[in-house]
Structure 1
């Protein structure tokens, strides 16, 4: 019993470093009674949040069987609302059952072993690996939650606090996790050894003398079977994450492998993002194919930076590489550190995060106040963008190197396939991306380039209302205020595994991937399946920019406007009075922009796919950056994101070579959105486009001199930028359904 003394003290707020000093202490004996008295008022709990409070009150009251029954209800609620969280219930079931056994006379450690064996140890491998990560918890975050609830009860006895139930629930969380985290560690390790063969000490030599750290996990039940290896090659060296990834693949009958960028983990030497990953991943693939347990085939998986490493490996054509499954895929030079040749500041501190240590520098990465302050300081100072590290007072040589390559030049092109190199990549490719994923920019780039140069490529794309890490952490039930359709609440990892089953084991493709482009229509709760991105829409309609106003907005029209004055945008680069500006919640940022909108739709309309733009502009500068963001303005006043574009005018013709504008002369700018959408707009909505010039602390500022933008400063601002859109300038949207508008406002 002694093993539970400290967690109980922590839970009741008698011990945690003074965090609960503002609440009058309750005796340990009184707490179960206080918790029990609150249970009745929570008996009607139905939502996950309510059920969490209820089962923790039941635990605190010693009603362990009731708590386990409530946890069963919580799992059922998650299945219908947020399936990704169903496995998270098992650790709490383990705790509740262990406490019940203990209450019936079992010794604490024996009670926990029994509960763990019944609820986790008995699971098949493919279910156990989904539960395993939920036994990991950030105790500091749990303590912070307790402190937050303590504040709500400051100066009151716990029994008199209106939010006592929430406080007890938070304390019970701390009690459970403070005990479970250390107590379960040996049980989890033993269970892993029972299920899998693990080698986490691998160092793979490269031809140039480097060594690549890798983790290999194989199913123990398949020791005599030759296995296909599934490899995640990553710069994000975190052995817990890597073990989870490798075990997941091993649980499905593969050899799960995670290898790190040279210099990460146990690999000696310096870390350089991007530069060596293609060669090194190819080396790892060849090494895997030579192992005695290997069937000679390797697939790659994962996303973001790890999606880049897959295309980087494919550029080198290692014979054993037979398939890649990417998501949220980073394309260096295309989406980061610059998009449309415009550098973005969110990537400035990423090199510190990934290269400061052999692991990851979470402290630096999480210091958002510092990075936001740096961006603001640079913006207000008006100094050149290349001075960011000087302002910060810390060298950032990786970022500085990137700034020396504002064109998509040989520096970037050597990292991933370029041009006709895509034609030689003849392996199946699975691409997952999301409407709320900045990584869609890279994902679409690879997909379009591969099919452009190899039209017969066996590529499949899945697009839904997903955020950047949905593949890793599960699909959220709500993203940026949008409640995700039930049809889109998928287990994305399961879809990926079914695709691998098709590629490596001849299983049928899931119906969800029945065509090349498979996308969920937000608001329609339905999936569509088409052959190309262009086919996402049934028709296309041009929206011409006009100089006609209604209120403070400009109007779109179905034909060129040759009557009114051309719309004009004026941007004063010397004005930094907006350094602390942020738009109202839910509203688009319309600074330094023109806003165009349609009349109200008479009936619902589906907007699908990419949008195109063709502008005829006259400007007084040799260059400018352009941002176009489409929204739907719903009848209840909400703005729904559709699709966007960001690019430097001088690179729109060719991202590899700059073509400066002719001031005072008409210039044609043709571009395509870097993201797609698929959304059903309700009747009464308006289609809105915000067309502007980026001038914020978060983005490089193009002053228009024609010099390297990173060297420009406020001293180069000169006269305000002026852009006039001539008649015939338009944006073109894809849609399904007829486009009809209500006359007048």
Structure 2
């Protein structure tokens, strides 16, 4: 289950492996040294056993080998993945400053000198790449180090199996405690030398609200400027300053404005409701400034993608382009997907509305949210009782629950139906196969092209997570190594696209099609005009009665046989503590079908569709379908998915209940795409499931509002009879 991730700026910390080196003949006398001395001595001992450079430089720092650490850091920085270059510069500054201290300089003088040499001497574009990484939550780092220290008690550190974890955690505390807050003033002074900064703006709206805004303009650029605006609910001035500086470093006026009530803005915070009008106010203000060329673009993702589409709905004349990523579409992918509410979003209103900033302490209290999900599930109480079970009112979430249809409440937030026809500005969206925001990204794209076939709306899809635009691409996701071709600088592509739109620069080759996607496992990009062009050969897979030693097997031609009946007992909560397998799908309450093993490799690209002819004994049901590649070694690789409520399949805005005991069709299309080279010897597996878990609404099938149903409505299990002719259909390329 995905989380709606905020646009975070992560402080770098090294990955810590699950195995730990063993120290040869540890000195028992170390047990009597103070902890700091034990850490230094242990770091020195670990140096001889550690070959991972991502751990080595911290051990070198902890051991006091500052020159060696800087050398290791330089090597790592040169090998950094696209989008992560410069992330280790703060650590290099620390290493060099400590060298100057050893030579006799005071700590402040040493830090100022190292900062000037390694940061102040760089170009605007280079410091813009470093700035997002030049931050850390020292309190969180200290808590992590304390946890590691407690894990080693009462043994001497040198004998502790997780000694390396403690050394690395302790060094992170030492580094950032040294760098901050002195570096904040150094960064500010350096920025004021390069840029014109106004971070005290309060822009007035027509109804009297105030919008807190940060504006950064390059001093070196003469003439009028185009503004690039991020309108966000994630009020964190450090993140926002980094965003604004990045755009200014590339010759734009960088702007970040907050949802009303956030930051320095007075009044309450209400997610979504005012964003479109308030963003329009900021856009109009920017266009009217003496330094402005009258043009504004918008950028950013997740929630901040919805604010761009909300602004587009208002058609401010100055708004000329939007660039979204990990795109949230309220009412489409969160808080409900396919009209099914999801629990991951429940803490989010507290995170964003409790304070003028962000309530990390509450949002990160995973124990609280896991307990809430568990307690609700085992209690069998209505979904609407979540806040009562939690013990704290959640009025934003409760308001969402009052709108289970995609009704006027949701329709007024972002463009709806033929409103997409009026959107004539260029749009660029980046998403990923591992990004829950793909659901929203595809919705915007499909609606835009449906109502405006001539739209200039380009999509880039790769093996990326929700936060890839902010933190850069990863070398792997889980156990899957990412193709080399996918290792690109996503922010760089976005900036080149803006330069194309606003400065007539060439369109980046990687965006040569309207749909640009990396084929996982094939290590190459493809560029096509539409989603349908990703692959054009249908592979229709019928749900029959055939099976082999691996279970049920799809028929590739229609037969008179049908799938086994499926029964789901919603009163059974014996699975409350169920832990899904790490490397295999959850097959509870599901039919599982697979193809035969493929004798040759082929691509599976694009969306899938479903056509189920069923007879059920209830007035409604929820359906989840997940496709996987099952390799010859048994490893499962996720492909594409669907989640939806049967009564809304035909129209998410109006509910049409099922007729118990009567054959009826369930037609649907996946909400995510895939592009994957399926290896010879693999099978394609589909899990066709009725959701019943602590993490989603439970649809008991009465036909009432699902949020009001409870386990009292579960006296009769759900029975589904699958009629002949039911199928799923993929698109493939040989």
- Same-fold status (TM-score > 0.5): yes
The verdict on how the C-alpha distance between 1:113 and 1:236 changes in structure 2, with shifts beyond 3 A counting, is: same
1: CA distance, partners of 2:382 / 2:600:
49
Mapped pair 1:65 → 2:67: yes
Mapped pair 1:25 → 2:33: yes
Displacement of 1:185 after TM fit? 2.2
The verdict on how the C-alpha distance between 1:575 and 1:475 changes in structure 2, with shifts beyond 3 A counting, is: same
Mapped pair 1:554 → 2:562: no
The verdict on how the C-alpha distance between 1:168 and 1:208 changes in structure 2, with shifts beyond 3 A counting, is: closer
1:235-246 aligned at under 5 Å gives the runs 235-246=233-244
In structure 2, the residue corresponding to 1:291 is in which secondary structure?
coil
Check the 8 A contact 2:615/2:722 in 1, yes or no: yes
2: CA distance, partners of 1:664 / 1:389:
36
1:224-623 aligned at under 5 Å gives the runs 224-551=222-549, 553-562=551-560, 564-623=561-620
The verdict on how the C-alpha distance between 1:35 and 1:309 changes in structure 2, with shifts beyond 3 A counting, is: closer
1: CA distance, partners of 2:431 / 2:705:
33
2: CA distance, partners of 1:448 / 1:29:
61
Deviates more, 1:394-403 or 1:300-309: 394-403
1: CA distance, partners of 2:425 / 2:506:
17
The verdict on how the C-alpha distance between 1:26 and 1:83 changes in structure 2, with shifts beyond 3 A counting, is: farther
2: CA distance, partners of 1:720 / 1:60:
61
Displacement of 1:649 after TM fit? 0.7
In structure 2, the residue corresponding to 1:87 is in which secondary structure?
coil
The verdict on how the C-alpha distance between 1:449 and 1:574 changes in structure 2, with shifts beyond 3 A counting, is: same
In structure 2, the residue corresponding to 1:546 is in which secondary structure?
coil
1:130-279 aligned at under 5 Å gives the runs 130-147=129-146, 149-150=148-149, 153-158=152-157, 167-222=166-221, 224-279=222-277
Displacement of 1:37 after TM fit? 5.5
Displacement of 1:697 after TM fit? 1.0
Check the 8 A contact 2:31/2:38 in 1, yes or no: no
Displacement of 1:480 after TM fit? 3.1
The verdict on how the C-alpha distance between 1:342 and 1:97 changes in structure 2, with shifts beyond 3 A counting, is: same
2: CA distance, partners of 1:40 / 1:705:
66
Displacement of 1:102 after TM fit? 2.6
Mapped pair 1:694 → 2:691: yes
Alignment partner, residue 731 of structure 2: 734
Alignment partner, residue 91 of structure 1: 90
Displacement of 1:183 after TM fit? 2.6
1: CA distance, partners of 2:39 / 2:453:
68
Deviates more, 1:541-550 or 1:115-124: 541-550
2: CA distance, partners of 1:197 / 1:627:
51
Check the 8 A contact 1:545/1:561 in 2, yes or no: no
Displacement of 1:105 after TM fit? 3.1
Displacement of 1:577 after TM fit? 1.2
After TM superposition, the score normalised by the length of structure 1 is 0.91
Check the 8 A contact 2:38/2:157 in 1, yes or no: no
The verdict on how the C-alpha distance between 1:355 and 1:166 changes in structure 2, with shifts beyond 3 A counting, is: closer
2: CA distance, partners of 1:112 / 1:213:
33
Alignment partner, residue 679 of structure 1: 676
Mapped pair 1:627 → 2:624: yes
2: CA distance, partners of 1:149 / 1:708:
47
The verdict on how the C-alpha distance between 1:403 and 1:168 changes in structure 2, with shifts beyond 3 A counting, is: closer
RCO higher in structure (CA 8 A, sep ≥6):
2
The verdict on how the C-alpha distance between 1:149 and 1:270 changes in structure 2, with shifts beyond 3 A counting, is: closer
Displacement of 1:166 after TM fit? 5.5
Displacement of 1:159 after TM fit? 5.4
Displacement of 1:31 after TM fit? 7.4
1: CA distance, partners of 2:598 / 2:32:
59
Displacement of 1:61 after TM fit? 4.4
2: CA distance, partners of 1:164 / 1:412:
52
2: CA distance, partners of 1:101 / 1:341:
60
1: CA distance, partners of 2:474 / 2:227:
30
Alignment partner, residue 22 of structure 2: none
Alignment partner, residue 77 of structure 2: 75
The verdict on how the C-alpha distance between 1:516 and 1:26 changes in structure 2, with shifts beyond 3 A counting, is: same
Displacement of 1:659 after TM fit? 1.2
Alpha-carbon RMSD across the aligned residues, in angstroms, is: 2.1
Check the 8 A contact 1:24/1:156 in 2, yes or no: no
Check the 8 A contact 1:579/1:697 in 2, yes or no: yes
Alignment partner, residue 19 of structure 2: none
The verdict on how the C-alpha distance between 1:261 and 1:165 changes in structure 2, with shifts beyond 3 A counting, is: closer
1: CA distance, partners of 2:480 / 2:501:
34
Displacement of 1:57 after TM fit? 3.7
Displacement of 1:325 after TM fit? 0.1
1:7-18 aligned at under 5 Å gives the runs none
Across the two proteins, how many residue pairs are aligned to each other? 706
2: CA distance, partners of 1:165 / 1:140:
20
2: CA distance, partners of 1:424 / 1:31:
63
The verdict on how the C-alpha distance between 1:419 and 1:164 changes in structure 2, with shifts beyond 3 A counting, is: closer
In structure 1, the residue corresponding to 2:658 is in which secondary structure?
coil
Displacement of 1:26 after TM fit? 4.8
Displacement of 1:168 after TM fit? 4.1
The verdict on how the C-alpha distance between 1:152 and 1:274 changes in structure 2, with shifts beyond 3 A counting, is: closer
In structure 2, the residue corresponding to 1:557 is in which secondary structure?
coil
After TM superposition, the score normalised by the length of structure 2 is 0.93
2: CA distance, partners of 1:687 / 1:159:
49
Displacement of 1:289 after TM fit? 0.4
1:22-61 aligned at under 5 Å gives the runs 24-26=32-34, 35-36=43-44, 38-42=46-50, 45=51, 50-61=52-63
Check the 8 A contact 2:84/2:471 in 1, yes or no: no
Displacement of 1:28 after TM fit? 7.3
The verdict on how the C-alpha distance between 1:26 and 1:299 changes in structure 2, with shifts beyond 3 A counting, is: same
Displacement of 1:327 after TM fit? 0.7
2: CA distance, partners of 1:622 / 1:166:
54
2: CA distance, partners of 1:33 / 1:570:
62
Check the 8 A contact 2:418/2:451 in 1, yes or no: yes
1: CA distance, partners of 2:36 / 2:724:
77
2: CA distance, partners of 1:584 / 1:101:
51
2: CA distance, partners of 1:643 / 1:547:
24
Displacement of 1:380 after TM fit? 1.3
Deviates more, 1:171-180 or 1:283-292: 171-180
In structure 1, list runs of 5 or more residues that go unmatched. Answer: 1-21, 738-745
The verdict on how the C-alpha distance between 1:552 and 1:59 changes in structure 2, with shifts beyond 3 A counting, is: closer
Deviates more, 1:602-611 or 1:709-718: 709-718
2: CA distance, partners of 1:732 / 1:154:
57
Deviates more, 1:669-678 or 1:131-140: 131-140
Check the 8 A contact 2:562/2:725 in 1, yes or no: no
Check the 8 A contact 1:582/1:589 in 2, yes or no: no
Q: Residue deviations 1:697-718, cap 9 Å, x none?
A: 1111111111111111111223
Displacement of 1:550 after TM fit? 2.6
In structure 2, list runs of 5 or more residues that go unmatched. Answer: 1-29
